[in-house]
A and B are shown apart, each in its own frame.
Chain A
Amino acid sequence: MMRIVLPGVLLAAAAVIDGAWLARLPLPVGPDLLLLIVVTSGIRRGLETGAVLGAAAGYLRDLMSGSPLGVFTLAYLAVGVAAGAVMSSIDFDQPVAPAITTAVATILLQVAVGVVVAMTGLSRLQWLEVAQALPLAIAMNALLARPTDAVVRWADRMARRRHPAKAIGFRVPR
């Protein structure tokens, strides 16, 4: 139960903090805590977790941002699946690995959202604006990647402590 509740609480907290604080910073773009959790969880736990958390995070983002439901759901799902898929080939404990991974994920997310918007015609394509804001988003996400990884691992430890029998389902960090 804690395996489901804790990530859900993390995602909900991230969505609320994103909307209440980070989106209101006097910056062109803020860090994306939902993306960071999806990427970190996907890489730490694998494709299934990445996919589920990606879809959930995207759905929350759709709900909170007022966008048509499904746009961010699809985009975050794609990022979560990608993060889970590269799990075995990335050593996430290397010092710069979280930063590089989240930087790539940030670009991937924007591309995915752009593709969905382009395919559905739900909004005007704004590649130039996205490209201008992307470096700042990448920098902030990269900066917060390692702290987010620490939070996700802490949540894993909490879940294992309360349910030791389920520990086998978690990937032990190297």
Chain B
Amino acid sequence: MRRRVVLVAILMVAALVLLTSQVRLPERRAVGPIGSMLLAVLAPAQGVLARAGDAVARFWRLYTEIGRLRAENTRLREEVERLSGDVARLREQAQATQRLERLLAFRQQSPGRALGARVIGRDGSQWFSVILVDRGALDGVRRNDPVVGAEGLVGRVLTVTPTTAQVLLITDARSAVGVILQQSREAGVAEGQGQALLRLKYLSRAREIALGEVVVTAGQAGLFPRGLPVGTVVSLVREQGALYQEAAVRPAVRLDHLEEVLILIEGRSDR
């Protein structure tokens, strides 16, 4: 018992001495050699533990954030899909607007009244070149009405229903358009061949025709207004002994990419 009391008393006195020595110091703290040694031993271990703890804490934070990140990822994916859809839709609208602007500009130059129509169908075979548009007799469309695109002649109305019309494209083998070469003023007939190019027939051999020359409607048969661009000459054929020379004409309008057209319902020559 006495030993215990002595031990406690010694420890108490030592602690008090330590404390009072600190109180007298200006900084209220002096570690001393033993304390410095202990700190030198323990500080690295504490550093290692702190780094390990930080790593565990980071891992834990990451683990707890996975659920939130997954939900956020799903939300962002949906957002991206929605925005991608919006972008595609807006791009489509922008392109349609550009096409319609060109069509409008062409319409303002065209004689008579023009009716805008949307292409809603196309013949899928290789044999015929016919498109279906969403305007018909109720809109004033009649058979043989000229149909144009922003760049030039597309064809003529072949069949009319009250709400739709079939348009025979100038590339169809049944199509023949009276034309005139814009520079040489040579007249001819542009016939469809069921292919991409038109065949320009009945051109005088005496005329020199340049490649790239623009072909426009002649307006003589009373079907198409005069001066509508039909295409450009891309090659010439002069067969030996033939009475006429012929030319291949690339249509001015990209007929395989038509989406909107104009139907010229007034100023028709046949009325």
Residues in A lying within 8 Å of B, measured CB to CB:
12, 15-17, 19-21, 24, 47-48, 51-52, 54-55, 58-60, 63-64, 66-71, 73-74, 77, 81, 116, 120-122
Which A residues lie within 8 Å of B3 (CB)?
A: 48
- Interchain CB contact under 8 A, B8 and A70: no
Q: Is B7 an interface residue (CB 8 A)?
A: yes
Which A residues lie within 8 Å of B53 (CB)?
A: 20-21, 24
Q: List 18 A-B contacts (CB under 8 A).
A: A15-B42, A17-B49, A19-B46, A20-B47, A20-B50, A48-B4, A55-B14, A63-B35, A63-B38, A63-B42, A64-B42, A69-B19, A69-B32, A73-B19, A77-B11, A116-B19, A120-B19, A122-B22
Q: How far is the CB of A38 from chain B (nearest CB, A)?
A: 13
Q: Which of B26-61 contact A (CB under 8 A)?
A: 28-32, 35, 38-39, 41-42, 45-47, 49-50, 53
5 A-B pairs with least C-beta separation: A70-B19, A20-B49, A70-B18, A68-B22, A20-B50
- Interchain CB contact under 8 A, A67 and B4: no
Given A47-B4, A47-B8, A55-B14, also A24-B19 (CB < 8 A): no
Q: Which of B4-30 contact A (CB under 8 A)?
A: 4, 7-8, 11-12, 14-23, 28-30
Which B residues lie within 8 Å of A70 (CB)?
A: 15-22
Given A20-B49, A21-B53, A69-B35, also A55-B28 (CB < 8 A): no
Q: How far is the CB of A19 from chain B (nearest CB, A)?
A: 5
- With the chains together, A16 CA to B41 CA distance in Å? 11
- Interchain CB contact under 8 A, A12 and B19: no
- Interchain CB contact under 8 A, B19 and A52: no
Kindly list 18 other residue pairs between chains A and B, CB separation below 8 angstroms, not including A63-B35, A73-B19. A12-B41, A16-B42, A17-B49, A20-B47, A20-B49, A48-B7, A55-B11, A60-B42, A68-B29, A70-B21, A70-B22, A71-B19, A74-B19, A77-B12, A77-B15, A121-B23, A122-B22, A122-B28
Which B residues lie within 8 Å of A20 (CB)?
A: 46-47, 49-50, 53
- With the chains together, A118 CA to B77 CA distance in Å? 62
- Interchain CB contact under 8 A, A16 and B49: yes
Interface size on B, as a range, is: 20 to 34
- With the chains together, A122 CA to B23 CA distance in Å? 7
Given A47-B4, A120-B23, also A74-B46 (CB < 8 A): no
Given A15-B42, A16-B45, A24-B53, also A67-B11 (CB < 8 A): no
- With the chains together, A144 CA to B17 CA distance in Å? 33
Q: Which of B11, B17, B47 contacts A51 (CB 8 A)?
A: B11
- With the chains together, A63 CA to B39 CA distance in Å? 7
Q: How far is the CB of B180 from chain A (nearest CB, A)?
A: 88
Chain A residue nearest to B53 (CB atoms) is A21
Residue picked from A17, A24, A68, A122, most chain B C-beta under 10 Å: A68
Q: Which of B42-85 contact A (CB under 8 A)?
A: 42, 45-47, 49-50, 53
Q: How far is the CB of B79 from chain A (nearest CB, A)?
A: 33
- With the chains together, A24 CA to B230 CA distance in Å? 83
- Interchain CB contact under 8 A, A51 and B28: no
- Interchain CB contact under 8 A, A16 and B22: no
Which A residues lie within 8 Å of B41 (CB)?
A: 12
- Interchain CB contact under 8 A, B8 and A51: yes
- With the chains together, A17 CA to B52 CA distance in Å? 11
Q: How far is the CB of A45 from chain B (nearest CB, A)?
A: 12
Q: Which of B4, B19, B42, B50 contacts A68 (CB 8 A)?
A: B19
- With the chains together, A150 CA to B235 CA distance in Å? 101
Chain A residue nearest to B32 (CB atoms) is A69
Q: How far is the CB of B57 from chain A (nearest CB, A)?
A: 8
